[in-house]
Structure 1
């Protein structure tokens, strides 16, 4: 239900938090929630073309994860999360990285926890997220292109992944993957009342939106745009 409007943006009540980790069919779940009639479903793909969203994720990561150098120790409040999520009734994908912090910010929301076999999940996570975020191209973008454009997409994404794995670098993240996987699922189940939690185990694969291909295509498109914009910025007048 739409509660009000602020600055032209609808203000809605958060009803569903999908806390399955990234690479657990979150795009398909987002599509299903939209089909079920939820107004506004946030998935990480939306952030690719939303620079302001990345700035919020960047601040949220520093507020949430002690392992980060910029850790503030001040968890985001519902009001702060509403800077991002006010127009949405449900959120998936990257939201899960913030786990119980987001659950506590929206205590009345229902929680869907999708659990995928660890080996399948980590293979997908490594190939489609970690390797992409710490590739030579990503390093160039984070260190050269994004500072020119004032973008926080790369740094924020890296912060969220290191925070999730409680790691200081990508190699440590890989070594702590199983620990992070178990911790996330345990903490969500301990935090959420049974009558608000829907637990789904992906024991049987089902047709899903091709998240990996769609995400890579969106990222490639954004990198090209960013490089062009950076070239224009640096070009002599």
Structure 2
């Protein structure tokens, strides 16, 4: 049963927040990487485009929190299914988000990826019916998986509209609008827990580290976790 629901777009610090929630005892936290690490979960997610009622307990079986797409797209349904759960909307500068999101979508693997896909990354291909529906609903019917969002102003407006919609849809005591650069304080206050002593807030999976992990996955023929430390020469994206 979910206790914390992430409502933020991908590339808003969702991987950092996943690590933070798990450190605070709200794990496991569902994230896109969970689908990649456990490809059998694709079948659970395909149910959301089947036209039949979704069994959210089955989709999130074994998880206490959720973050990132595909879960984050269904924040409203999850908030209704788990009325006691708190909701966290991760945010960042929308123009910086756009650049990072474009890098993410532009590197999305497809069925024609040269050399094939290592275990785990093929889950993204199998999940395309869900991700395609999410993308078209979010950015417009002309959106195609793997093509990104060419119009920055449109994407930024979509981002801002999403933030406003979430803010307007939930009571203030149930929602935290959170930039991961703020660290442990607002998060722990919201969840009613103590911050870890002498432990920095995790900042993971920035754009360059993501690129590094994807390229390493392709080179080694195995899924490389975004939670693995990046090479020392990989620059970091501030706050993420």
- The residue that corresponds to 1:165 in the other structure is 139
Moved over 6 A (4+): 203-207
CA contact (8 A) 2:13 2:179 kept: no
Aligned counterparts, 1:119-130, within 5 A: 119-128=95-104, 130=105
C-alpha distance in structure 2 between counterparts of 1:180 and 1:97, whole Å: 13
Q: Is the 8 A contact 1:162 1:173 kept in 2?
A: no
Alignment match, 2:8: 20
Structure holding more helix per residue: 1
**What residue in structure 2 maps to residue 53 of structure 1?**
41
More strand by share: 1
> What per-residue deviation string (whole Å, max 9, x for no partner) do you get for residues 193-212 of structure 1?
21111112467798611344
Q: What is the rounded CA distance, in whole Å, between the counterparts of 2:126 and 2:148 in structure 1?
A: 23
Distance in 2 separating the partners of 1:46 and 1:173:
25
Q: How many residues align?
A: 194
Are residues 104 and 173 of structure 1, via their aligned partners in 2, closer, same or farther at CA, if it must alter by over 3 Å? Answer: farther
SS in 2 for 1:208: coil
What is the TM-score when the length of structure 2 is the normalising length?
Answer: 0.66
After TM superposition, give the deviation of residue 166 of structure 1 in Å.
Answer: 3.3
Normalising by structure 1, we get a TM-score of 0.67
Among 177, 186, 205, the alignment partner of 1:210 is 205
Distance 1:44 1:220 in 2: 18
Q: Distance in 2 between matches of 1:152 and 1:29?
A: 26
Cross-structure match for 1:196: 174
**Map 1:1-237 → 2, pairs under 5 A:** 13-60=1-48, 62=49, 72=51, 76-77=53-54, 80-94=55-69, 95-128=71-104, 130-133=105-108, 138=110, 140-141=112-113, 152-170=126-144, 173-175=149-151, 176-201=154-179, 208-212=203-207, 213-214=209-210, 217=213, 221=217, 224=221
Separation in 2, partners of 1:222, 1:44: 18
* Contact map agreement 2:44 2:59 (CA 8 A) in 1: yes
Output the aligned Cα RMSD.
Answer: 3.4
Q: Could you tell me whether the CA contact under 8 Å between 1:48 and 1:222 is conserved in 2?
A: no
Which ranges in structure 2 are unaligned for 5 or more consecutive residues? 184-200, 224-240
Report the Cα offset of residue 54 of structure 1: 1.9
CA spacing shift, 1:179–1:104, aligned 2, 3 Å: farther
Unaligned runs of 5+ in 1: 1-12, 64-71, 227-237
